[in-house]
Amino acid sequence: MSDYHKKMMYYFGAGSVMLSLSLARELGVVQMLMEANVPLTSQQVADKLNLRERYVREILGSLAVGEVISVDDSSTQFHVPDDRKPTFNAISVFSRFLPQFGLRHASIKECAQQRNTGGIVYSQTPGLFETLTDILVVVKKDMIDTDILSAIPLLLPKLESGIKVAEFGCATGIILNKLASRFKNSTFLGFDVASAPLVQAREEASTQGLQNVTYDTDNIETISESYKESFDWILTRLVIHDLTYPQKALNDIYQCLKPGGIFSMIEVGIEGGITGNIANASAMFYYSASTFLCIPESLRRPDSAALGATWGASLARKMVAKAGFTIINESVSHTDEHEIHFVCQK
């Protein structure tokens, strides 16, 4: 068996294990293993979760042979060592993308045909916004401090005293609601083209009793007509590369900011292109995610830019400069080597 054959089989097996991990998370198995202080049998897990033991046994077996979880010599007691639990939990969230890619497979096949000029928006895939929310809640729960505010210390006193902030592409409002809760003197506005996730954003804001945050359905590519020089700080996260006309959106964001205002563009910033990322696991995911999510989201018109998640840090810098911004800081995410916070000033 050649080394290439072994590698292909490894990828095939690893992908299958990640599908099992996704199923384990949705069935509650991941949470039970996270909470357990002692090894558990498949019967104990099944009884606790009201599941059929035979399915649980095979799921745990898949995770064990894939070295995702540990198993004793009798192959009956399963556990996750404490030092591995944070990673185990985080990757289980990301694993949920795989069945969602599968749901989109047939549609992507159609979109790829020359005769088809359309795409697929995120809202067409059940559960996708839930997964994106879980990433912010579980994997990036501390990102406001570690990835956002730490890169823009000059804004902190202004947020405390009171400024006007907008997030374009806010989805379920996880980031904006946290900011609004912390900085009560500032006003926050969240926009998204999809109305469904905004319902959840509003409900959470209401539950927290937040009076300084509102949400609206609007398009980032036309929004400058209504909000010229309105905001002190604008935030986007993994939004620009998904847009049909990203350069126009950057131009409009520039117009929406007050003079001297800050634009936080948090984006995938892969350096080195394809050849510089051979066998890089994170890059593998981003090229695949771009195929199933980002390209179909943006490539809905013949003249779409269709940047994709792998557009690269170099092009990102050129495009924000073309819009008129000066990049005053770049900060790499604490949880993702390819996610960069470009701090841009008008």
Determine if residue 266 is left, alpha or beta; phi over 0 gives left, psi from -120 to 50 gives alpha, anything else beta. beta
Q: What are phi and psi of 167, to 5 degrees?
A: -120, 120
Contact 297, 107 (CB under 8 A): no
Q: What is the pLDDT of residues 53-67, one digit of tens each?
A: 999 999 999 999 999
* Average confidence score pLDDT of the chain: 94
What distance in Å separates the CA atoms of residue 134 and residue 96, rounded to the nearest whole number? 10
Determine if residue 259 is left, alpha or beta; phi over 0 gives left, psi from -120 to 50 gives alpha, anything else beta. beta
Q: Place 133 in a pLDDT band, splitting at 50, 70 and 90.
A: confident
Residue found under tokens 């995610």: 289
Secondary element (H or E) of residue 208: none
Q: How many C-beta atoms lie closer than 10 Å to residue 285's C-beta? A: 15
CA dist 158 to 10, 99, 141, 153, 263, Å? Answer: 51, 43, 23, 10, 14
Q: Place 117 in a pLDDT band, splitting at 50, 70 and 90.
A: confident
Residues 6 or more apart whose CB falls under 8 angstroms from that of 113 comprise: none
Q: What is the pLDDT of residues 161-203, one digit of tens each?
A: 999 999 999 999 999 999 999 999 999 999 998 888 999 999 9
Q: What is the pLDDT of residues 210-238, one digit of tens each?
A: 999 999 988 887 776 789 999 999 999 99
| pLDDT over 90 at 129, yes or no | no
| pLDDT over 70 at 76, yes or no | yes
In the prediction, which pLDDT does 121 show? 87
End-to-end CA distance of the chain: 58
Q: What is the pLDDT of residues 149-168, one digit of tens each?
A: 999 999 999 999 999 999 99
* Percentage of the residues of the chain whose pLDDT score is greater than 70: 100
Q: What is the pLDDT of residues 236-274, one digit of tens each?
A: 999 999 999 999 999 999 999 999 999 999 999 998 999
